[in-house]
Amino acid sequence: MITLVTGGAGFIGSNLVKLLVEKGHSVVILDNLSTGYSNNVPISPRVKLVRGDIRDAATVKSAANGAQVIFHLAASVGNQRSINDPMTDSMVNILGTLNVLEAARSAGARKVVYSSSAAIFGELRYLPIKEDHPVEPDSFYGVSKLGGEKHSLCYHNIYNLEVICLRYFNVYGVNQRYDAYGNVIPIFARELLTGQPLKIYGDGEQTRDFINVLDVARANLQAAEADGVSGAFNLGSGNSITINQLAVMMQEAAGTRVSVQHVPPRKGDVRHSRADISAVQSAVGFAPRVNLPEGLKEYVAWVQTEAFS
């Protein structure tokens, strides 16, 4: 299978590229390296890295030439980042996605697997979250990812392009570097390994559904291999824990203890989150394999050897 992975030098994308290469597929990576890293890219004759931006339609079209499946992961990520800069968020996540969809249509690609987000839902009315939960995003990021979903599914309906949208919940794992706007797990890891207090926004009783990046990579591949399947699916572990519980688990994974500091809640953060993953299990055969304590231990070990080396 010939594939294009946008954002393939980034956190999730690089893990997907590694899996694709292991399975014998050819990969073109399109990444502007603004948050990705060239040293994340596997060294293989089946991998080609193209440095470019998804906002440039000609670059995307060229990179997609010959691709049978396009995995679209390149994005401006994060609620707080989008609140600080809504224009960039929309230019990347909406215009960039349209460029990818047009390139897929031009290339005659069989399928697009679009990386969406649980941020599309906003504050939750019930748990676990099913695919038909109302979508009322609380941030520009949620709005732009929902827009990307809607455009992608319109391409399926109008142009008969197979599209699967995977709504990621809280993804963590190897190759996830610290970002002040990013996931709580790399932030906690950085604070732990530099002896700082763990900063928790609010009372810490908010819940999150954490899924390991290796499971996300497998879900992307299974989505690509599911012939004739299109639609939007939640992708999480199906379980949730509080941030206070996560703080304890992270300290256990690191084998160290630090203090905990509670600070005011952030705008755009939902209170609770947990995915119902029965639909993606039924549609593409996905089931998570990596449990959270195991995944956290592996991640902290990676941070110790890689991120601070």
Three-state helix/strand/coil letters over 269-304:
CCCCCCECCHHHHHHHCCCCCCCHHHHHHHHHHHHH
The two tokens of residue 79 are: 């609620």
Beta carbons of 218 and 173 less than 8 angstroms apart: no
Choice among 114, 141, 155, 172 that is catalytic = 141
Beta carbons of 163 and 114 less than 8 angstroms apart: yes
Residues contacting residue 31 through CB under 8 Å, at least 6 positions apart: 6, 7, 8, 9, 10, 13, 49, 50, 51, 52, 74
The yes-or-no answer on residue 37 being catalytic is: no
- As a residue count, the chain comes to 309
Which residue is it, tokens 């060239």? 38
User: Is 200 in a helix, a strand, or coil?
Assistant: strand
Complete DSSP assignment for 206-271: -EE-EEEHHHHHHHHHHHHH-TT--EEEEES-S--EEHHHHHHHHHHHHT----EEEEPPPTT--S
Phi-psi group of 40: left, alpha or beta (phi > 0 → left; psi -120 to 50 → alpha; rest → beta): alpha
Tell me how crowded residue 18 is: count the other CB atoms within 10 A of its CB.
21
Return the amino acid letter for 215.
D
User: Is 52 in a helix, a strand, or coil?
Assistant: coil
Torsion of CA 125, 126, 128, 131, to 10 degrees: -50
What is the C-alpha to C-alpha distance for residues 194 and 97, in angstroms, rounded to an integer? 38
Catalytic amino acids? 141
